[in-house]
A and B are shown apart, each in its own frame.
Chain A
């Protein structure tokens, strides 16, 4: 079955611009989580959506936002980009209620470079 699909794979943006990243979870998975990975901070949790509702949010500024659609696909948006937003953004999908026993599947990530 198809895995977690993230698009685009690479992005180059200028400071001050905004960007939207997309994640399509595994079919049947209703939970989507987003993580930011940088060399200095490692993997940091951004937010998690389940059935179109944000259930949890990490310690990121309000410039980072997301949403989930009725087909479970999710998007995250970063406004007013800063150089420090350059990172690999990873999306993870899980079945939802049973994620704690069934684990998470990650996508290949979107590499965002802010110049």
Chain B
């Protein structure tokens, strides 16, 4: 059974620092891994989708890496801003199941202080 873990559970940094968020998964046979952002009481916003064949994916200040062999993905956010304060979740599709089922980590709650 695929298990997804995110460490740390919470993170507080001053504005301008780089953020490093970790996601680990137990079954390395994944199709892809998706990073989401969630603001309090809101839905999920997709940030990056990394295919299993890719090592990293970039969008603006965001960069996500994927190491399937070690079961890890890392989301880097450069030069953090107060607007980056949110909960960040990673998710992988169940491999042996239909494509509609994602396994989520518990998330990392980020606070960026001005």
Residues of A within 8 A of B (CB): 4, 6, 31-33, 35, 42-43, 45, 48-50, 55-56, 58, 88, 90, 92, 94, 96-97, 99-109, 111
A residues less than 8 Å from B34 (CB atoms)? 103-104
Taken together as a complex, chains A and B put the C-alpha atoms of A104 and B56 apart, in Å, by: 19
4 more contacts with CB within 8 A, not counting A97-B99, A101-B51, A108-B42, are A43-B89, A48-B98, A49-B100, A50-B98
B residues less than 8 Å from A6 (CB atoms)? 43
Pick from B91, B100, B107: contact of A48, CB under 8 Å: B100
| A to B CB contacts below 8 Å, 23 in the list | A31-B99, A33-B101, A33-B102, A42-B104, A42-B107, A45-B101, A45-B102, A48-B101, A50-B98, A56-B101, A58-B101, A99-B93, A99-B99, A100-B31, A100-B32, A100-B93, A101-B51, A103-B46, A104-B46, A104-B102, A105-B46, A109-B42, A111-B41
Query: With A106-B36, A111-B41 in contact, is A94–B100 under 8 Å at CB?
Result: yes
CB pair B43 A108 closer than 8 Å: yes
Tell me the nearest residue of chain B to A90, going by C-beta. Answer: B43
Interface residues on chain B, number (Cβ under 8 Å): 24
CB pair A56 B46 closer than 8 Å: no
Taken together as a complex, chains A and B put the C-alpha atoms of A90 and B91 apart, in Å, by: 15
